[in-house]
Amino acid sequence: MLSKKTKYGLKALAFLASQPDKKPVQISEIAEKENISQKFLESILLSLRKTGFLGSKKGKGGGYYLLKTPEEISMTDVMRVLEGPIAMVPCVSLNFYETCDDCPDENTCSVHKLMLQVRDSALEVYRSNTLKDIIS
């Protein structure tokens, strides 16, 4: 299941990408238009800023804005930051790899074999979509 954090983060990014100009948008505006708890959104935008997706401007007329153009923002990167691993099990994760305690051999593990394919297919979707692609 997709976490609300990811869902809201994606919606916020899409909202910013849909702005006619590059002026900063206030948290309160995004929260209201996208039906998101303002405080929760605050923490999400903060993490998107710390990971280089967003810039922010303080003071009157401040807010958040995209640091890159929508077509430069890959869903792979966004998903990894918001949702974490793309793989459904750590033993097939590229960026968050861990061995399974219970599994004696990955190469003969059925779960491993199936989840490897699922990961690859998800990655292909994320790689072929930028923020631009998912805004209408």
Partner DNA sequence: TGAAAACTCTATTAAATTAGTAGGGTAATA
Partner DNA sequence: TATTACCCTACTAATTTAATAGAGTTTTCA
Residues near DNA (CB under 7 A) are 3-5, 8, 24, 26-28, 37, 39-40, 42-43, 45-46, 49-50, 56-64
Amino acid at 24: P
Q: How far apart are CA 107 and CA 88, in angstroms?
A: 17
Q: Which residues lie below 8 Å from residue 73, measured CB to CB, with a gap of 6+?
A: 13, 17, 53, 66, 130, 131, 132
Q: For tokens 């869903």, what's the residue? A: 75
Instruction: Look up residue 78 and give its two tokens.
Output: 């966004």
Token duo for residue 87: 């793989």
The interface with a copy of itself within residues 95-124 (CB under 8 A) comprises: 101-103, 107-111, 113-115, 117-118, 121-122, 124
Q: Which of 45, 75, 76, 82 binds a copy of itself (CB under 8 A)?
A: 75
Residues that bind a copy of itself (CB under 8 A): 1-2, 7, 10-11, 13-14, 34-36, 75, 85, 88-89, 101-103, 107-111, 113-115, 117-118, 121-122, 124-126, 129, 134-136
